[in-house]
Structure 1
């Protein structure tokens, strides 16, 4: 029978980790917090740096089998074991570096540090903090239970890693399936909008400027609330779903807090994200259910007001085509990270429009039905992926005793 002991991490690791002297080498491989993939729990993106350009946070000399734990935003659980390739790399001061003593298996320690128990522990330490962070002492105070025999630790770690590897294979397969389903939307829209500007259109269709079909940022008298403090509908960018193309939630704010800093729109308008990466992701929605028929939202929306109600869904679907978004991206202006689609580019952009409104109605009705099926598939694949992503925590919870840190 295995003998189980309970120890603080501080009793299971070496007391001192060597620090880096940039004058000792001409260049080095640097591992910072962004180097860790917090899903795979691996170092994936280290880089070579000249010593004279060493960042101020370059601090620890890492060794193979060290376990590194990010002290910044610990709820993201950026934890990894240093592999052979990163032996003698330099780690950021944002890590707690744990070097197991001879009697402790590195992988066993690592698995405890990606367990739900450790995550719950660090989340309790940073709850309510504006800038969530922990320190070395916090990490080393955590208690784990482990077999006294290192061989038993290694055996258990091997069994758990085998299960986790199978789960990762399942996750990758589910991700590919979800990506394939997401690609269906582009195909659905391409069935209706297969044309490039200048192509010959079917009989009874014509090319129109977007601005003539749906006025962009239309100048109009704004509706107002009865009193300055009356609650008014408000739609921030995160409330526009880039998969469904719908507004998922409406907030309410006092009317006098809105105005020039935000974008005004009315029911029946279409809001379109103009800034990267929201535009490329497809954040675009038809406005509906606004209190008193109007609302405000992000200053990064462009507002389209269809000239006829029949054009509303037609323009919305067109704006969600991959081709339009790619062309808009090619015409971005502004600096990296803050690039936007110029309004004048969209105003002159051409949209194919059937002159017979019954054709528009028939095509948009067909797209509505096909999109309902598409949304069901998206929901199914998303649910499947979420279930798979929950498996690692369940596996770890099944193996480890999680009562050690309750007192």
Structure 2
């Protein structure tokens, strides 16, 4: 099984900060940094704001904080709160990862980005003044990792997603019980 895995750069399996368009002045869904919960896949809400700039993304994309202390605190999420085909935006302090169609499974990519292998490298690559350090995106792009075939990525992503789905369900049940 593992013998079928191939060594690839992260940029070979994911598009980084893919180009999207939102016209300036358009009201769009924004996902502010403070909405992301540490080590939690789902995004609970958005705000509608007039777009004037920021990182843009779509459903299925993974967003990871690139600034200290947000990255160290585990602020990484998978976008699923938008309508089909809709483009949302957020902080310029996000790195957006988009699975390459036919090469990478979006759920597998999310869990890979959350893995210590990617997170620790990103944290070690940070540069800048104390308290305002940022990830060097090129270092993350060039990370070489062993990548399973797409069919195995789908199995791995589905397996891990089932745990996060259960956590999300338990959160909803707990909120209903508290109400």
TM-score by length of 2: 0.83
**CA–CA distance in structure 1, aligned partners of residues 90 and 137 of structure 2:** 17
Query: Is contact 1:246-1:284 (8 Å) kept?
Result: no
SS in 1 for 2:37: coil
Query: Is contact 1:273-1:284 (8 Å) kept?
Result: yes
Gaps of 5+ in 1: 1-200, 388-407
Alignment partner, residue 329 of structure 1: 123
Note if 1:251 corresponds to 2:47.
Answer: yes
**CA–CA distance in structure 1, aligned partners of residues 101 and 116 of structure 2:** 24
Moved more, 362-371 or 296-305: 362-371
**CA–CA distance in structure 2, aligned partners of residues 244 and 224 of structure 1:** 27
Q: How far has the Cα of 1:353 moved from its partner?
A: 1.4
Q: 1:273 to 1:281 in 2, by over 3 A?
A: same
Aligned match of 2:7 in 207, 215, 219?
A: 207
Q: How far has the Cα of 1:253 moved from its partner?
A: 0.8
Q: 1:332 to 1:246 in 2, by over 3 A?
A: same
**How many pairs are equivalent?**
172
Q: How far has the Cα of 1:360 moved from its partner?
A: 1.4
Q: 1:264 to 1:374 in 2, by over 3 A?
A: closer
Alignment partner, residue 293 of structure 1: 86
Query: Is contact 2:66-2:134 (8 Å) kept?
Result: yes
Alignment partner, residue 276 of structure 1: 68
Alignment partner, residue 303 of structure 1: 96
Structure showing the higher helix proportion among its residues = 1
Q: 1:250 to 1:332 in 2, by over 3 A?
A: same
Which contiguous aligned blocks of 4+ residues in structure 1 show a shift greater than 6 angstroms?
none
SS in 2 for 1:293: coil
Query: Is contact 1:270-1:304 (8 Å) kept?
Result: yes
Kindly report the root-mean-square deviation, in angstroms, between the aligned alpha carbons of the 2 structures: 2.5
> Whose relative contact order is higher, 1 or 2, with alpha carbons under 8 Å and at least 6 apart?
2
Note if 1:318 corresponds to 2:116.
Answer: no
Q: 1:364 to 1:325 in 2, by over 3 A?
A: same
Q: Deviations over 1:201-243 (max 9, x none)?
A: 812111211111001123x3x3335xx6542111100112223
**CA–CA distance in structure 1, aligned partners of residues 114 and 22 of structure 2:** 30
- Bigger radius of gyration, 1 or 2? 1
Q: How far has the Cα of 1:324 moved from its partner?
A: 2.4
